[in-house]
Chain A
């Protein structure tokens, strides 16, 4: 399973936290607002009590007499949402606003006591009931209770308007915070993208190590990657050196054995000679291959032309008596992504065969497979005017795995080494006939 990306992880966590936090803030603000609205309503209801008491007169029989008009018009207007009832032992007064109102049951309270009740099931009003003891002219105390009812819709309208505004504001804040979060991720993850790009450049061989400046948190990662690269390189070198020295230290004793054997000896000498040749072949191909197989990932480009020139000059010296005419056509900036010594090995073996078997002419052509690719690849064609390579040998040379065990005479060892190198660099080797009837070797390393 592909693991959840860091950015998605953080985005999910961030959004979750944002939603929970904004939700909690919203709920808290809403609750506080409701509490505030209720308590201010309670204060207002108390003030209605005092308003009514101020407008009230009581005669000696305990009868109520109320002023006709109240300062607050809501007490006069029917269905205004504010209703007052004054209840005495002998008389009862209800505000003009309560016309047609079904009064709920009421609890009695002792004078001086006020009870506030919030709406409950079946009761759509906030109620405040207050007990009063009215001193009559004969100094006796007549008890009254004043009941104020306020329609709950009054507060509901107010709080729902607040809630709507609140959620809108919080939603806008959420959107802004989410956008800010995205931007933070974009900038915050930039160093990670940079590291990934730098690692890709190391992988493609454009640089050898991570050299950028990274944030402190990424420095240990970059350091460890560099250390890993160094270790890998030194491991490669160590393995290669070990293989090299093994190959070379085997060769001198082999030379002693071989030098002691006559070329045209008896049966036992011939079989010993064959055994020595076989060992030589194995050293040349298998050890070579073990050395090359780990080299591909970190390869840097090597220009082909100067190395080709070196090999041609060297071979012209060795084969000076043959006066070989060399034609070389190479596209400009033809490069080989690999080790210089592998390129030299490739060119050396191919051209050595061409010089050795060619009668008077050798032609080399080459270029990039795809000039627009990051790694443009490489193709090379080497032709001579010698006797060419026999068909039976061609199949033996191109057969993977067989070539190390079968000894192919003539072009054999050199081409076997070339074939191993081609394998190690994922290249293709083609063997055919040149227009002059000699050998034609095509080698092609794909672009990537």
Chain B
């Protein structure tokens, strides 16, 4: 999943980026409102973390403009302004949640996770998919209670498919939401990840959890149970 971070403090930006990447997110970063707005409008963002006190264009304005232009990904406001006046203003502008500075990194990650889940239509942190259980918080996958070891990228692919159930997901979309902008993308690599994921989830080939629609992309083939 791809996260846009707009934060002007370089130290906090650095810490957040490394924590988000460790958690398996692709991260785009901006230190000011105008560039951040551009990234939010042009890039396939799954969630944005926006500081309210930004240079050039305030966080509130960025949120308003993004919403006005129909961008509906979840937005988490990150603010040093802990007053409710500012929180309410942020939520009214179109944000979905707020975290005030200073914060526990774990709390921020939990909020991001929850927002992502809610955006994908999952109220609970555990998603059941036939015999599979995906723990979105712990980023672990189980088959009939037994854990399946996945690499970061394999999990990212599965996670994206779970977040977009009943959709045909193209290889381009997958690579866009998994890799950062400047990464060297190759759609063949996605095919490799999907192949490996299939083998790990379904070694005997009886369930076929991920369908391939030739020339179009992939789709989760199993019914989701909440």
Q: Is the CB of A344 within 8 A of B85?
A: yes
A311 pairs with B84, CB closer than 8 A: yes
Assembly CA distance A340 to B85 (angstroms): 8
Q: Given A255-B12, A284-B82, A345-B84, are A318 and B98 also a contact pair (CB < 8 Å)?
A: yes
CB contacts under 8 Å to B, within A227-264, are 247-249, 251-261, 263
Instruction: With both chains docked as a complex, state the minimum distance between the C-beta of B114 and any C-beta of chain A, in angstroms.
Output: 7
Our pick among B9, B12, B16, B91 for the contact of A318 (Cβ within 8 Å) is B91
Whether B92 contacts A255 by the Cβ 8 Å rule is no
A340 contacts across to B, CB distance below 8 A: 85
Greatest chain B CB density within 10 A among A252, A263, A310 is at A252
Contact with B along A291-311 (1 / 0, CB 8 A): 000000000000000000011
| Smallest beta-carbon distance B215→chain A, Å | 38
Question: Most chain-B CB neighbours within 10 Å: which of A251, A261, A263?
Answer: A251
Decide if A311 touches B88 in the complex (CB within 8 Å): yes
Q: Given A317-B91, A318-B96, A321-B118, does the pair A263, B84 have CB atoms closer than 8 Å?
A: no
A341 close to chain B: CB less than 8 A: yes
Given contacts A259-B16, A314-B91, contact A347 B114 (CB under 8 A): no
Q: For A341, give its contact among B85, B104, B108 (CB under 8 Å).
A: B85
Given A256-B12, A259-B16, A320-B118, residue A344 in contact with residue B88 (CB < 8 A): yes
- Using CB atoms, name the residue of chain A closest to B123: A321
Write out, one digit per residue, whether chain A residues 335-364 have a CB within 8 A of any chain B CB (1) or not (0). 000001100110111000000000000000
Closest chain B CB from A415 CB (angstroms): 14
Nearest chain A CB to B86's CB is how many angstroms away?
9
Task: Report Cα–Cα, A409/B101, bound state, in Å.
Answer: 17
Taking a contact as CB atoms under 8 Å apart, the answer to whether A341 and B83 are in contact is: yes
Contact of A255 (CB < 8 Å), options: B84, B96, B101 = B101
Report the separation of the CA atoms of residues A258 and B105 in the bound assembly, to the nearest whole angstrom.
Answer: 7
Knowing A251-B101, A311-B84, the reply to whether A259 touches B19 (Cβ < 8 A) is yes
Complex CA gap A260/B12 in Å reads 9
**CB-defined contacts of A66 to chain B, threshold 8 Å:** none
| Residue in A258, A263, A320, A345 whose beta carbon sits within 8 Å of that of B102 in the complex | A258
Interface bits B68-83 vs A (CB < 8 Å: 1, else 0):
0000000000001111
Once the chains are docked, how many angstroms separate the CA of A259 from the CA of B103? 7
Chain A residue contacts of B100, Cβ below 8 A: 251
Q: Is A74 an interface position by the 8 A CB rule?
A: no
Most buried by B among A255, A313, A341, A348: A255
Chain A CB within 8 A of B209 CB: no
**Contact yes or no, A321 B84, CB < 8 A:** no
Give, as a whole number of angstroms, the nearest-CB distance from A54 to chain B. 115
Q: Determine the chain B residues whose CB is within 8 A of the CB of A290 once the complex forms.
A: none
| Least distance between A359 CB and chain B CB atoms (Å) | 15
B154 within 8 A of A: no
Nearest opposing residue in chain A for B11, CB measure: A256
For residue B87, which residues in chain A have a CB less than 8 angstroms away from its CB?
314, 348
A178 at the interface (CB under 8 A from B): no
Rounded to whole Å, the gap between the CB of A333 and the closest CB of chain B is 22
0 or 1 for each of B176-208: is its CB under 8 Å from A? (1 = yes): 000000000000000000000000000000000
A260 touches B15 (CB 8 A): yes
**Is A280's beta carbon under 8 Å from chain B?**
yes
Task: For the complex formed, measure the closest distance between the CB of A426 and the CB atoms of chain B, giving whole angstroms.
Answer: 21
Is residue B106 within 8 Å, beta carbon to beta carbon, of the partner chain?
yes
Contact B85 A345 (CB under 8 A): yes
- How far is the CB of A428 from the nearest CB of chain B, in Å? 21
A276 at the interface (CB under 8 A from B): yes
Say whether B96 contacts A252, CB under 8 Å.
no
Q: How far is the CB of B137 from chain A (nearest CB, A)?
A: 14
Chain A residues lying within 8 Å of B96, measured Cβ to Cβ, are 317-318
Q: Is B44's CB within 8 Å of the partner chain A?
A: no
Question: When A252-B101, A258-B102, A280-B102 are in contact, do A310 and B11 touch as well, CB less than 8 Å?
Answer: no
Set of chain B residues within 8 Å of A261, measured between Cβ atoms: 105
Bound CA–CA A382/B102 (angstroms): 28
Measured CB to CB, the closest approach of chain B to A334, in angstroms, equals 18
Contacts of B9 in A (CB 8 A): 252, 255-256
Interface of chain B residues 95 through 124 with chain A (CB within 8 A): 96-98, 100-106, 108, 114, 118, 123
Q: B12 — which chain A residues lie within 8 A by C-beta?
A: 252, 255-256, 259
Q: B83's contact among A255, A263, A276, A345, by CB below 8 Å, is which? A: A345
8 Å CB contact of B15 from A259, A314, A317, A344: A259
Check: B53 CB closer than 8 A to any chain A CB: yes
- Complex partner residue of A259 from B84, B105, B123, CB under 8 angstroms: B105
Pick the contact of A263 from B16, B97, B98, B106 — CB < 8 Å? B106
State how many angstroms separate the Cβ of B18 from the closest Cβ of chain A. Answer: 9
Question: From B105, which residue of chain A is reached at the shortest CB distance?
Answer: A259
- The smallest beta-carbon distance between B133 and chain A, in angstroms, is 19
Q: Which residues of B contact A247 (CB under 8 A)?
A: 80, 82
Q: Does the CB pair A318–B97 fall under 8 Å?
A: yes
Closest to A248 in B: B80
A284 and B84 alpha carbons, distance in the complex (Å): 12
Question: What would 22 A/B residue contacts be, using CB atoms closer than 8 Å?
Answer: A248-B80, A251-B100, A251-B101, A252-B9, A255-B12, A255-B102, A255-B103, A256-B11, A256-B12, A258-B104, A259-B102, A259-B105, A260-B15, A276-B102, A280-B102, A310-B88, A310-B92, A318-B97, A318-B98, A321-B123, A344-B88, A348-B87
Nearest first, the 8 closest Cβ-Cβ pairs linking A and B are: A348-B84, A254-B102, A255-B102, A255-B101, A251-B80, A314-B91, A248-B80, A251-B101
